[in-house]
A and B are shown apart, each in its own frame.
Chain A
């Protein structure tokens, strides 16, 4: 009789007997079960992905995806309503638009990866801080389609049959004619400036909303602490009220920060009076006379000595900023806007800079808790010390509160990888038409972008004042130098250093070999060269498609336009020329670069 063979290989032995299994039975064990389970789940996931992908690639349906980072309450619902209207209108053409909301924090990386992979959504939201979606011109030129040709045509969705929701107060024949027959560009409040790229000399996006900011005033706290029944009318009155609030807080044993602020609120305050102080620099800084002062022009002017940081206008502007910041929570640079809103609602602050995109959040937070009013940012009266003497007459008499430099936001562009760019463009026309943009704005509590539109009643205080001047000094986008100046500016606003210290340290860095203005010139030049590479790639791809018969019907026109773009860049020679004019004794690139 055969004795059971003891085996150390328990996996293929019958338990306890030592008999080896043979044939298919040797696979009956837990490892096999685990493997089958793993393969099964993986296979199921792959099948799901393939099925979903097949739906998107269904030749009978045309899917157009639109992505954004606006997760605020109301936006997605409002956009979905517009999308549903569009899908219904084009049901016979089997078009389906779908939105994809991505968290703002990861949106740049997510979009970048998808752009490189070639499967980015057809329409993507553009943003100034997102390098791959608007922050740099070469990224925009590389990834998005220029729309200059299209915006000169009328918007078909502004035809008379769609103009049935114009407010009677605004309904005039001139408005109707402008909407129906004017170019698409003329139907937007900002003239499509929100989608204009100055350095690319073309339009790359369509704005769908207008953003402004106002000052929210906690009347409950203000009345209790200062006895005022009305919000302050001037900046001087507001600062006096702030001091009274602090004193009242000390008496009550409460910590009161008169103005609730987070890290991004100061810009709203400063922007409200920057124009009045700084517009007069424009005639010195705007070298190419295009009506705008770019950051390169500003930094180059500082380097050349055309303007100095300690000029009376700039010094006065920063002195006023200091007075405003003195009323903030000292930790404001580290705070989020939710914390600022919480302080306002909890009665620890009486004033809050309120952007129009936050209006809904503020309204719902204050409902039944705080009596608040919205107002334009108060400016110094001519006789107030904050007006800085002669400079103050600007506010007292001539300029006033100006949002002339404002432009549209929530801008969307069409990616070059879009499968149906014509449908994408058509949807953008739909979204920015009078009827549907007004509906979109009312639903999500924003300001509409189209002329002759009115927002929801509670948003009318946010309607922009388009008359006035724009700032003549722009020190943003300065790379490491701008970061350095921002660091010193923060110290000044924290009262740790004087303004003269800021002037001295920043001026000393203007010609620093590591972070100075020469680096900005070089990066400006290399940026243009980067754009040219992208354009050359686009030309090559489009030309190849035309050659093999896979091009779109308008491919030849598109190639011609791109060639014109390429010519305009002129290999960055414009930058070289400008540098040479300012520095006749120096060659380009600057020494050591």
Chain B
């Protein structure tokens, strides 16, 4: 005869359930415990200590003195060397933004290969460099720069002659920069053709205050136009752009320019809502790219370096060649991990999408910008975040290549390296913790902006 089921109270049922779950999960938590303990002791605790010692004068020993906010006040008001390093980080960020793209295009090329066997072969070839440790790769590149291997390659391929020409003060980039240096609107009767070409550009520069101002105006336009909802929803963005504008343009210029960046999208939206976003994108990107080109032409290679005359430029020994050498490091910038991540994203794209694109007559290049890139933007965004965090904090490569001083005239002194110097060379551990906190807050702000504003439309 079947026994009748035992009826339990709600409390008893809850206790039974909890006991069963506890006995199950207890083992799992115990297995995780060593990792959690290690994480707390070796990751979280040192970081909490860093926060604490940012408010102390501490040299790494038992002697410490609470100084309140004086470290922060010093960092923000009396230590220009720390902030100068962020200019260099900005250059590296821009360079790394460009260096992300070869991996994407390689992944797309791999994805497009019809023959699965060849796709496998190429995938293996791209993954093989992973076996070389990063430090070894760094030292190999250091040998390229210091042992003359790169110089020999440039000489053999004719690149050295090109660089020598570009470095010429008579007809190279320094000469071109000289034409754009003047801000005086004056007709050059001797060279009227050049005057016709350069004067409008100079007028543009006068209007924006600087090429950097023009670039930032383009960013402001994109930011203020984002999604084209009402301005009320974008006031925070507008304020951030305004504050940045203050630093770049100076007090007289930034007000009308930021106002224009806010008002122009509203005006275009009132005219034709659907076309407004496309037009704004064209104007904004045109301003940014034009400014970038003019910055490269007029502010990067301003004076001849004289380093290419003998055909053996000191890439890591000349103050003007160090930054290009670091930017060029790793050419052709095809990162194995990036390729694999993007390839995984591309392989999720259904074939029907491609078939539909073929039916619509989309070209191969069109498929890249209309199908593949939009559908792997999630991966791109993640890599963008990691790249930004890494660029802001990383200094290991510069330490290995240039030493703790950051190379000739300290040109490679990024904030991370400066923090390292303060901590381990000068023994100012407390101040180094302060710098670490400041860098952490900047990184956090940037990450927040990425999460909030770099959205992927599904």
CA A116 – CA B24 in complex, angstroms?
43
The answer to whether A116 and B408 touch across the interface, beta carbons within 8 angstroms, is no
In this complex, which of A31, A108, A131, A143 has the most chain B Cβ atoms within 10 angstroms of its Cβ? A131
Contact flags (1/0) for A324-337 with B, using CB distance below 8 Å?
Answer: 00000111111100
The answer to whether A339 and B427 touch across the interface, beta carbons within 8 angstroms, is no
The answer to whether B318 and A494 touch across the interface, beta carbons within 8 angstroms, is yes
A residues near B71, Cβ cutoff 8 Å = none
What's the least CB distance linking A494 to chain B, in Å?
A: 6
**Interface stretch among A191-199, A208-216, A484-492, A567-575?**
A484-492
What's the least CB distance linking A509 to chain B, in Å?
A: 12
Verify if A136 is at the interface (C-beta below 8 Å from B): yes
Contact flags (1/0) for A514-554 with B, using CB distance below 8 Å?
Answer: 11000000000000001001100100000000000000000
B residues near A534, Cβ cutoff 8 Å = 61, 63
Verify if B62 is at the interface (C-beta below 8 Å from A): yes
A487-B424 contact given A255-B148, A333-B316, A494-B319, CB 8 Å threshold: no
Verify if B250 is at the interface (C-beta below 8 Å from A): no
The answer to whether A9 and B24 touch across the interface, beta carbons within 8 angstroms, is yes
Verify if B190 is at the interface (C-beta below 8 Å from A): no
CA A38 – CA B147 in complex, angstroms?
50
The answer to whether A334 and B427 touch across the interface, beta carbons within 8 angstroms, is no
CA A332 – CA B315 in complex, angstroms?
11
Residue in chain B with minimal CB distance to A115:
B61
The answer to whether B61 and A139 touch across the interface, beta carbons within 8 angstroms, is yes
A residues near B143, Cβ cutoff 8 Å = 339
Contact flags (1/0) for A107-130 with B, using CB distance below 8 Å?
Answer: 011001001100000000000010
Verify if A135 is at the interface (C-beta below 8 Å from B): yes
Verify if B405 is at the interface (C-beta below 8 Å from A): yes
CA A544 – CA B383 in complex, angstroms?
58
Residue in chain B with minimal CB distance to A29:
B27
CA A416 – CA B302 in complex, angstroms?
58
CA A40 – CA B25 in complex, angstroms?
20
In this complex, which of B23, B80, B403, B426 has the most chain A Cβ atoms within 10 angstroms of its Cβ? B426
A132-B60 contact given A38-B31, A334-B407, A496-B408, CB 8 Å threshold: yes
Verify if B34 is at the interface (C-beta below 8 Å from A): yes
Contact flags (1/0) for A128-150 with B, using CB distance below 8 Å?
Answer: 01011001101100110000000
Verify if B145 is at the interface (C-beta below 8 Å from A): yes
Verify if A35 is at the interface (C-beta below 8 Å from B): yes
In this complex, which of B24, B30, B426, B427 has the most chain A Cβ atoms within 10 angstroms of its Cβ? B427
The answer to whether A116 and B405 touch across the interface, beta carbons within 8 angstroms, is no
Verify if A291 is at the interface (C-beta below 8 Å from B): no
In this complex, which of B31, B409, B424 has the most chain A Cβ atoms within 10 angstroms of its Cβ? B409
B residues near A530, Cβ cutoff 8 Å = 59, 63
What's the least CB distance linking B397 to chain A, in Å?
A: 12
The answer to whether A42 and B27 touch across the interface, beta carbons within 8 angstroms, is no
Q: Give B80-131 interface residues, CB cut-off 8 Å to A.
A: 80-81
Verify if B402 is at the interface (C-beta below 8 Å from A): yes
Verify if B142 is at the interface (C-beta below 8 Å from A): yes
A255-B24 contact given A135-B427, A334-B146, A480-B81, CB 8 Å threshold: no
The answer to whether B317 and A334 touch across the interface, beta carbons within 8 angstroms, is yes
A residues near B232, Cβ cutoff 8 Å = none
B residues near A334, Cβ cutoff 8 Å = 142, 145-146, 316-317, 401-403, 407
The answer to whether A9 and B20 touch across the interface, beta carbons within 8 angstroms, is yes
A35-B31 contact given A491-B408, A514-B78, CB 8 Å threshold: yes
Verify if B312 is at the interface (C-beta below 8 Å from A): yes
Q: Which of A11, A263, A331 contacts B314 (CB 8 A)?
A: A331
The answer to whether A333 and B315 touch across the interface, beta carbons within 8 angstroms, is no
Contact flags (1/0) for B210-225 with A, using CB distance below 8 Å?
Answer: 0000000000000000
B residues near A331, Cβ cutoff 8 Å = 145-146, 314-317
Verify if B410 is at the interface (C-beta below 8 Å from A): yes
CA A329 – CA B148 in complex, angstroms?
10
Q: Which of A116, A329, A487 contacts B62 (CB 8 A)?
A: A116
A residues near B24, Cβ cutoff 8 Å = 9, 11-12
Verify if A34 is at the interface (C-beta below 8 Å from B): yes
Verify if B421 is at the interface (C-beta below 8 Å from A): yes
A residues near B405, Cβ cutoff 8 Å = 483, 486-487, 490
CA A112 – CA B62 in complex, angstroms?
10
Contact flags (1/0) for A55-73 with B, using CB distance below 8 Å?
Answer: 0000000000000000000
A residues near B31, Cβ cutoff 8 Å = 31, 34-35, 38
Chain A interface residue bracket vs B: 35 or more
The answer to whether B319 and A32 touch across the interface, beta carbons within 8 angstroms, is no
CA A335 – CA B148 in complex, angstroms?
12
Verify if A385 is at the interface (C-beta below 8 Å from B): no
Residue in chain B with minimal CB distance to A491:
B409
The answer to whether B79 and A131 touch across the interface, beta carbons within 8 angstroms, is no
Verify if A589 is at the interface (C-beta below 8 Å from B): no
Residue in chain B with minimal CB distance to A143:
B61
What's the least CB distance linking A339 to chain B, in Å?
A: 7
Q: Which of B61, B313, B317 contacts A333 (CB 8 A)?
A: B317
The answer to whether B34 and A255 touch across the interface, beta carbons within 8 angstroms, is no
The answer to whether B78 and A479 touch across the interface, beta carbons within 8 angstroms, is no
What's the least CB distance linking B29 to chain A, in Å?
A: 10
Verify if A513 is at the interface (C-beta below 8 Å from B): yes
The answer to whether B34 and A142 touch across the interface, beta carbons within 8 angstroms, is no
The answer to whether B80 and A494 touch across the interface, beta carbons within 8 angstroms, is no
CA A42 – CA B38 in complex, angstroms?
13
The answer to whether A335 and B146 touch across the interface, beta carbons within 8 angstroms, is yes
The answer to whether A109 and B146 touch across the interface, beta carbons within 8 angstroms, is no
Verify if B365 is at the interface (C-beta below 8 Å from A): no
The answer to whether A131 and B145 touch across the interface, beta carbons within 8 angstroms, is no
Q: Give B397-419 interface residues, CB cut-off 8 Å to A.
A: 401-403, 405, 407-410
What's the least CB distance linking B7 to chain A, in Å?
A: 17
CA A143 – CA B145 in complex, angstroms?
42
The answer to whether B27 and A32 touch across the interface, beta carbons within 8 angstroms, is yes
The answer to whether B59 and A131 touch across the interface, beta carbons within 8 angstroms, is yes
Q: Give B302-317 interface residues, CB cut-off 8 Å to A.
A: 312-317
CA A255 – CA B408 in complex, angstroms?
23
CA A142 – CA B63 in complex, angstroms?
10
A330-B28 contact given A135-B427, A480-B81, A483-B421, CB 8 Å threshold: no
CA A331 – CA B146 in complex, angstroms?
5
What's the least CB distance linking B47 to chain A, in Å?
A: 17
The answer to whether B317 and A332 touch across the interface, beta carbons within 8 angstroms, is yes
Q: Which residues of A contact B (CB under 8 A)?
A: 9, 11-12, 26, 31-32, 34-35, 38, 42, 108-109, 112, 115-116, 129, 131-132, 135-136, 138-139, 142-143, 255, 263, 329-335, 339, 479-480, 483-484, 486-488, 490-491, 494, 496, 513-515, 530, 533-534, 537
Q: Pick 27 A–B contacts, CB within 8 A, sort by A.
A: A11-B24, A35-B31, A38-B34, A42-B34, A116-B62, A131-B424, A132-B61, A142-B61, A255-B312, A330-B313, A333-B317, A334-B142, A334-B402, A335-B146, A339-B146, A483-B405, A487-B405, A491-B408, A494-B317, A494-B408, A496-B319, A496-B320, A496-B409, A513-B78, A514-B78, A515-B81, A530-B59
Nearest 9 CB-CB pairs, A to B?
A: A330-B314, A334-B316, A331-B146, A131-B427, A490-B408, A487-B409, A31-B27, A487-B410, A331-B317
Inter-chain pairs besides A491-B408, A494-B314, 6 sampled, C-beta below 8 Å = A35-B27, A135-B427, A136-B427, A139-B427, A143-B61, A491-B319
